[in-house]
Amino acid sequence: MDFLKRPRRLRQSATLRSLVRENHLRPENLIAPLFVIEGKAKREEIPSMPDQYRLSLDELSKEVKELWSLGVRTVSLFPAIDEFKKNAGATEALNPNGLNQLAILEVKATIPEMLIMTDVALDPYSSDGHDGLVDPRTGEILNDQTLEILAEMAVVQAKAGSNIIGPSDMMDGRVRFIREALEKEGLKNTLIMAYTAKYASAFYGPFRDALQSAPKKGDKKSYQMDPANVREAIKEAKLDEEEGADILMVKPGLPYLDVIAELRRHSDLPIAAYNVSGEYAMVKAAHMRGWLDENKIMLEMLTSFKRAGADMILTYFAKDAARLLDSETHVY
């Protein structure tokens, strides 16, 4: 046979495959979500998320040091608030001495160079479990009334030292409200990573277990996106860009690779993918049953986000992936 073109010539060895690899996954591309609780010397494993923990501040400090040593340079903090501190107005979200702000200070004191991302939504603080204020008569999620609280939350977090504000609430206009509030307070260098296309997904269950933040009534379909839509994501991306977002995010990641690719095609802003709790739990469960190789699946999954166009990935696999990516013996 006389073939002039043989694609397999470029696949002959690990060294050659590495040389021509189109997409590269590195620890600095990963953002590690971390759950925080009050107390000392607490490291509570989350049953639906094996190897993930709710961490007291002293344990958070240890985790941050380990992540930094592995090359992970960004963490995203999620506080698990005691139930008695929650109310319909989510007022604990605005407490400058609240758990979230103390966690920010702890990370900065431990590794000053570590980038910190914080979440802006009411559900961890709300007795209703929704991302926005709820009309007690009708159950409607009140968009405009929520915006002022979200903006104030963002300012409190930024003043504590958060580098990246992550509005995950999906209220209309929240990026503009937050950007204007940050500018007014002189916090012009604080980034906004908009949860641009956050879908009303069934993949969030383990995360809600971790924070005990599931809605008490109803669901989130009136504000999170319909999983059937992709053009709507482009519309949301354009709005977030116009309103001052610095980074756009797609959440969940794995079932929405097409959406990541579409945002990459339509925007020059950096794109983030959130490899969410349900995606993590599926891999862990399959590995525990001996059905899949966790490490190989993990790296294949994370690489798929890069291939689709994501510049960075929020993932509960951050620490494990960083260990593998830093290994001299690792060949992928």
Q: Which residues contact 144 (CB under 8 A, 6 or more apart)?
A: 173
The answer to whether 251 is a known catalytic residue is: yes
Task: Count the alpha carbons within 13 Å of 226 in the hemisphere toward its beta carbon.
Answer: 5
Give, in degrees to the nearest 5, the angle at Cα 156 between 151 and 159.
Answer: 120
Indicate the length of the chain as a whole number.
332
The answer to whether 220 is a known catalytic residue is: no
The SS3 of residue 64 is helix
For every residue of 190-246, DSSP letters joined together read -EEEEEEEEB--GGGHHHHHHHT---SSS-STTTSBPTT-SHHHHHHHHHHHHHT-S
Q: Which of 86, 220, 251, 319 is catalytic?
A: 251
CB contact at 8 A, 118 and 104:
yes
Q: Which of 86, 198, 284, 306 is catalytic?
A: 198
How far is it, in rounded angstroms, from Cα 155 to Cα 126?
A: 19
Whether the CA torsion 288, 292, 294, 298 is positive or negative: it is negative
Catalytic site positions = 198, 251
